[in-house]
Structure 1
């Protein structure tokens, strides 16, 4: 009985070490990922709702009409970002990107991305 308990303890300890190693490896892999930085042109049409930007991304005429509207007056969902900005791209979809700008999650059309660079993640 004592020998069986010792073996069980050894197996549990071995499992614990394997689990710890896997967690350590996965955390190192995540910290080694790179961040994509993009430069947006001045006067980019930006939205705070992905559903709105996705809807507009499907049709160039809708984009132009929405842009004309927000140039006149910002809406509940969209506005014009007046200055060129360097932002962290979080995701890329067909026709638009999701990005972090001053700790805000925003969206803009791909046509406003003027440069892309990769930087090592500092987390």
Structure 2
């Protein structure tokens, strides 16, 4: 398995294991192209998970992926890991904002070239904790 960006595969083994388990659940689905050889992959996965351990060791997982993933599988896993990394470092909030403030935020984003989330994050960082009243 050739990896363009090997760094992403050197961490977050929990996300890699979850991705693999999900792929194995749909291994017989039409259009499954994440693996080179479906029969060999199924046998190797059975060996990997029948070791009696609750968790798959990172070195075993890495070896399994190197031996079984297709080029498309590498792309899919890399994309999933990038998304998992992003989600791990951010949180999504849903809140109500007045129409006037929403317009101001949109205008600020347009003027600065930043996203609305970047602007809100920067405003929070810039606030001094003693100036906030509850």
TM-score range, shorter chain: under 0.3
Length-normalised TM-score, structure 2 = 0.22
Higher strand share: 1
Length-normalised TM-score, structure 1 = 0.24
Higher helix share: 2
